[in-house]
Amino acid sequence: MTGQLSAISALNEQRLKTYPISSRAEISAAIASARRVGAIWAQTDVKHRVKQLAPLESVILAEIDHITDVIMAATGKVKTEVLLGEIYPVLALLRYYQKNAARILAPCPVQTPPLLFPQASAEIERRAYGVAAIISPWNFPFQLTLSPLLTALISGNAGMVKMSELSLPVGELIMHLLARLALPDGLVQQVIGLAATGEHLIDARPDLVFFTGGVSAGRAVMARAAQHPIPVILELGGKDAMLVFAEANLERAAKAAMYGAFSNSGQVCVSVERCYVEAGCYLEFVGMLKDAAANVTVGHDAIGDLGGLTTLKQFAVIEAHYQDALAKGAQASSPLRLQGRYLHPVVLWNVTHEMRIMREETFGPLLPVMAFDSEQHAVDLANDSDYGLNASVWSRDINKAERVARQLQVGNWAVNDVIKNIGHAGLPFGGVKNSGFGRYHGAEGLRQFTYSVAGLTSRSNLNDEPNWFPYSDSRYLEIRGFIDFMFGSGLLYQRITRNWRALQAFRDYASLNLRQHWHNLLILIFKKSIG
């Protein structure tokens, strides 16, 4: 026993439960047992793995209200946000993999050049890494733990879960839900602790690390994993841009901006943290945003849009960005109003890229708005960021909007919608630049939890191959001629004619089918020579 952690309710500051911190020895033992169980799990058919995990869907639905209550207490979310941002994405991803995992992970035949590899076939198979360590954040602890964990399990891995210390009741809940399934003992295990426990987990050498969190912590995870080395998938922060053109449906765009910027009190990696609006409608749109923000409700009453901040430590960052913007000339729709953990949303305008609020991840309910003059100017502003996670483009001209979106340096984009594209289970999700690398969700995400193995099977009965020893000057000339025949310039019969002597050395190497082609080529050359 190396200490304990207490879980505190984000709703009323009450202590919920105390959890023992996992020791190094416990973590090492857990990894060892997970590797033993995982080796057997990986050998089971993917359809069987999916069948074992599919009942989780009905388990979640049966306990949906209890799950909502636990997540609300741990995060401070309002209950509708729990359904939309935590529960629905898990169910959608599980249903997608039920339908598609076997196809996605099936061995893939690869076309084999018959002249180079006669009587041979080739394929690519996917193999699980072994033990996948899932290190998850506090802002969406249910979704951002279960989604990568399910992906890891379906692809054949065992799972080790390290929750944020702010989300331990959600981790306990997840283990409770999984215990309702007929999974092998030890296939999924949880370790508990602070950052040092995460370091111990990586030092215990899992076979893959999937980390969701901030950039600085992501760098630390990557550096730690590199010492062993262990492959990592990093889903880091964002500074997502929303580009609004004058011809857009401004009413729809303004409502979307409210949701995109203030959902979960801005504690979303794909929150709209920069809003760029075409100069011709800039003042009008800012006015619409100010009016809309004033009508966003805060609290856990019967009607409430925004819950509380999961951790008050984040308020220091939010306040610093707000004050820096005002000091440099920005205007705000209201002062910062923090009531307990509830922070009222604020729109800022007349912002510039010299302000911290346009450069650093805020992770709170602030929406800075800046004007642009042209399509290219909008693209340049959006790309002027160290982050590249998600973005949205707003215009009734769909061709224009998609043209702009395809120029943005991001891993994901949406036209005339916001955040919801991340909930599409068939689309891979991940970022570029400081937003991380690697993907999850969709077919690409499932394959990211495996590595590819290339296989070649020869059915030749020959006792020799042209590339085998002994080498000689004549063999050099034969191989050189064959390379010229395969890749040189000129028509086919020209390449055959000039390399005829060299190609004779490969007659016995060809399959019966290829020998017939060879015979036909000889006839073709003969006709050309006498024609």
Q: In a 10 Å sphere around its CB, with 0-12 CB exposed, 13-18 middle and 19+ buried, how is residue 300 labelled? A: middle
Helix axes 168-178, 64-75, angle to 10 degrees: 160
Alpha helices in 306-412 (DSSP H): 313-327, 375-383, 398-405
Give Cα separations from 529 to 217, 286, 343, 522, 523 (angstroms): 72, 80, 87, 11, 10
Q: What is the CA radius of gyration of the chain?
A: 29
Angle (CA) 83-193-66 rounded to 5° is: 25
Residue with tokens 């198979």: 125
Residue with tokens 């009222």: 344
Structure tokens at 344: 């009222």
Looking at 165, 172, 235, 478, which residue is catalytic? 235
Give Cα separations from 14 to 9, 133, 338 (angstroms): 5, 30, 19
CA–CA separation, 121 and 356 (whole Å): 57
Q: Verify whether residue 235 is a known catalytic residue.
A: yes
CB 411 within 8 A of CB 363: no
Give Cα separations from 7 to 211, 216, 234, 301, 407 (angstroms): 22, 24, 26, 23, 44
CA–CA separation, 141 and 71 (whole Å): 8
Residue with tokens 């550096």: 223
CA–CA separation, 432 and 385 (whole Å): 11
Task: Tell me the helix, strand and coil percentages in the chain, rounded to 5.
Answer: 45, 20, 35
Q: Side chain identity at 320, as an amino acid letter? A: A
- Identify the sign of the CA torsion 253, 258, 262, 264: negative
CA–CA separation, 139 and 415 (whole Å): 25
Number of Cβ within 10 Å of residue 462's Cβ equals 12
Query: What is the phi-psi region of residue 156: left when phi exceeds 0, alpha when psi lies from -120 to 50, beta otherwise?
Result: left
H, E, C per residue of 31-56: HHHHHHHHHHHHHCCHHHHHHHHCCH
Q: What is the dihedral of CA 27, 28, 31, 37, to 10 degrees?
A: -120
Element at 331 (helix H, strand E): strand 331-332
Active-site positions read 235
